[in-house]
Amino acid sequence: MAQIVASNVQKVFKTADREVVALKDIDLEIARGEFVCLLGPSGCGKSTLLNAVAGFSLPTGGVITVDGKPVQGPGPDRGMVFQEYALFPWMTVAENIAFGLQVQKKQKAEIAATVSQLLEMLNLKDFRDRFPKDLSGGMRQRVAIARVLALDSPIMLMDEPFGALDALTRRNLQDELLRLWERLGKTILFVTHSIEESIYLADRIVVMTYRPGTIKRDQRVDIPRPRDPSGHAFNELKRELGRLVMEEQQRHADDEMKLAAVD
């Protein structure tokens, strides 16, 4: 049975002088343990959909359920990794990872054990007492992933988590994420605008349209892992998805020109 179900989801943002339909008629089912990427240009509503699943911003129509229960707000059963890391800068690496567990009032010894294990798992041992300002972007994102893993939530939501990283660090963290996913069996919903990233990572890629955000294509990726980005099947799919995404990107660009002309 599907773990995350979105049925007929709408999201309308109202501003003083206009309405923007960010999401329209979204029907999506994600199975337990599945790795799904939401792919599209900026403005396609992929982050809006993710935030709706996270419970930060509820849909204006339709319903999203997780394990059969409607989403009504944010919660530790759906851990979120943000593009801006969102680590608490006044806490050390270890304190950041421990925070979610302290919130759940876990025993001290249990917290210490989980934190040590995660520091080990994400190669952060030498950084446990550092503050986030002393870490590189890649290291910060490792801490953010560890912080979410500490919650032991079945679902991980990731909002362009590697978007701000350089290409090499990015590949490195993608591999690490895949390793963790295979080992821990989490369900991952991952937002990206990188076609290559989505093909490298996902079981399924959901391509979204530019305003209103609808599902343009629900694409299964059957290339066996580890995937070779220079392989034939990879590039075939890249070309195909590239065509779909660029159509939407073009609509986005046209729209921006129009808005600029009005102003």
- Judged by CB, which is closer to other proteins: 78, or 186? 78
DSSP letter (8 states) at residue 36: E
Among the listed residues 25, 29, 56, 247, the single contact to other proteins using CB under 8 A: 56
- Judged by CB, which is closer to other proteins: 56, or 234? 56
DSSP letter (8 states) at residue 31: E
Q: Is 89 in the site for other proteins (CB under 8 A)?
A: yes
CB of residue 181 to other proteins, shortest distance in Å: 19
Q: Is 84 in the site for other proteins (CB under 8 A)?
A: yes
CB of residue 180 to other proteins, shortest distance in Å: 18
CB of residue 89 to other proteins, shortest distance in Å: 5
Q: Is 63 in the site for other proteins (CB under 8 A)?
A: no
Task: Check: CB of residue 44 under 8 Å from CB of residue 213.
Answer: yes
The sign of the dihedral angle between the CA atoms of 162, 160, 29, 206 is negative
Q: Is 80 in the site for other proteins (CB under 8 A)?
A: yes
CB of residue 75 to other proteins, shortest distance in Å: 6
- Judged by CB, which is closer to other proteins: 93, or 215? 93
Query: Which token pair is 37?
Result: 């990427």
Could you report how far apart the first and last alpha carbons of the chain are, in Å? 49
Please choose, from the candidates 50, 59, 54, 152, the residue with its C-alpha nearest in 3D space to the C-alpha of residue 100.
152
- Judged by CB, which is closer to other proteins: 7, or 104? 104
Say whether the peptide bond before residue 74 is cis (omega within 30 degrees of 0): no
- Judged by CB, which is closer to other proteins: 103, or 246? 103
Specify burial of residue 224 (Cβ count, 10 A radius: 0-12, 13-18, 19+): exposed
Collapsing DSSP states into helix, strand and coil, what is residue 61? strand
Q: Is 72 in the site for other proteins (CB under 8 A)?
A: no
- Judged by CB, which is closer to other proteins: 38, or 244? 38
Please work out, in degrees rounded to the nearest 5, the angle formed at the alpha carbon of residue 48 by the alpha carbons of 46 and 49. 65
Longest CA pairwise span in the chain (Å): 62
CB of residue 8 to other proteins, shortest distance in Å: 26
Neighbours of 230 (CB within 10 A): 6
How many chain residues touch other proteins (CB under 8 A)?
26
Question: What residues make contact with other proteins under the rule CB under 8 A?
Answer: 54, 56, 73-76, 78-80, 82, 84, 86-91, 99-100, 103-104, 131-133, 147, 151
